[in-house]
Amino acid sequence: MRVQDIEPFFATLQAANPEPRTELEYSTPFELLTAVLLSAQATDAGVNKATRRLFPVANTPQQILELGYDGLCEYIKTIGLYRSKAKHLLETCRILIERHGGEVPRTREELEALPGVGRKTANVVLNVAFSEPTMAVDTHIFRVSNRTGLAPGKTPLQVELKLLRRVPPQYLVHAHHWLILHGRYVCLARKPQCWKCQVARYCDFKPKTPPPDA
């Protein structure tokens, strides 16, 4: 993607969705951290289904700890890898209470020190809860960045660093959501819907997919 196409690419995505939001349901930074921890290799819809039952009962580190391992598993057992996620979440709650006064820390180093929290989860929390211009590269962002030529790279980290360099500053806070939603609903993995893509003119992907009835 040519440098001069990046600004209109994001301006178009912004015009279609000025205030993009994560599809994970949360109302506090701790609820968001919990939802993101539970979402690895699971759908947002599946996580929301579980947290809609969990959060009214327990939505603070202390309350989750009081549920205990078995109690917590009862709420999240419909989510893949729930046993290891329960262990990580309980350990995370303990650390939040012991080291952070029960609050979610706001630095990458402190977040990545929590069990089950890697670079991607830290980026999501920093971006979504604290509006930091970070770029959590998931499978959708990785694919869209490579396919469009926006920020090609062999690894998520390469793509992340390139996006941080190439995305104009005014779009950095929301770029993560626009790219995820674009990948989830338009630039699909197996068959991108180029015929209805609003940013097609800026995208390097040459064999543009024709409409199904063409």
Report d(CA 47, CA 197) in Å as an integer.
28
Question: Residue 41: helix, strand or coil by DSSP?
Answer: coil
Q: Position of tokens 């078995």?
A: 70
Residue 208 as a binder of ligand SF4 (CB under 6 A): the answer is yes
204 is catalytic: no
Give me the least distance between CB of 199 and ligand SF4, in Å please: 6
93 annotated among ligand-binding-site residues: no
Give me the least distance between CB of 179 and ligand SF4, in Å please: 10
73 annotated among ligand-binding-site residues: no
Which residue, 197, 151, 201, 192, is CA-closest to 171? 151
Give me the least distance between CB of 182 and ligand SF4, in Å please: 7
Q: 34 and 48 in contact (C-beta within 8 Å)?
A: no
Which residue, 18, 24, 61, is CA-closest to 46? 24
187 annotated among ligand-binding-site residues: yes
Size of the site for ligand SF4 (CB under 6 A): 13
120 is catalytic: yes
Q: Which of 90, 97, 161, 194 binds ligand SF4 (CB under 6 A)?
A: 194
Residue 193 as a binder of ligand SF4 (CB under 6 A): the answer is yes
- Catalytic choice (120, 191, 196, 206): 120
Q: No. of H helices and E strands in the chain? A: 10, 0
CA dihedral sign, ordered 106, 109, 110, 114: positive
Residue 127 as a binder of ligand SF4 (CB under 6 A): the answer is no
The residue length of the chain stands at 214
Binding mask 77-96 for ligand SF4 (x = CB under 6 A): --------------------
**For residues 129-158, which are near ligand SF4 according to CB under 6 A?**
147-148
Q: Would you state the structure tokens that stand for residue 208, as one six-digit string?
A: 């543009």
Residue 203 as a binder of ligand SF4 (CB under 6 A): the answer is yes
Closest CB to ligand SF4 among residues 78, 198: 198
Angstrom CA distances, 105 to 17, 130, 199, stand at: 29, 10, 36
Residues of this chain that bind ligand SF4 (CB under 6 A)? 147-148, 186-187, 192-194, 197, 199-200, 203, 205, 208
Binding residue numbers for [4Fe-4S] cluster? 187, 194, 197, 203
The residues assigned a catalytic role are 120, 138
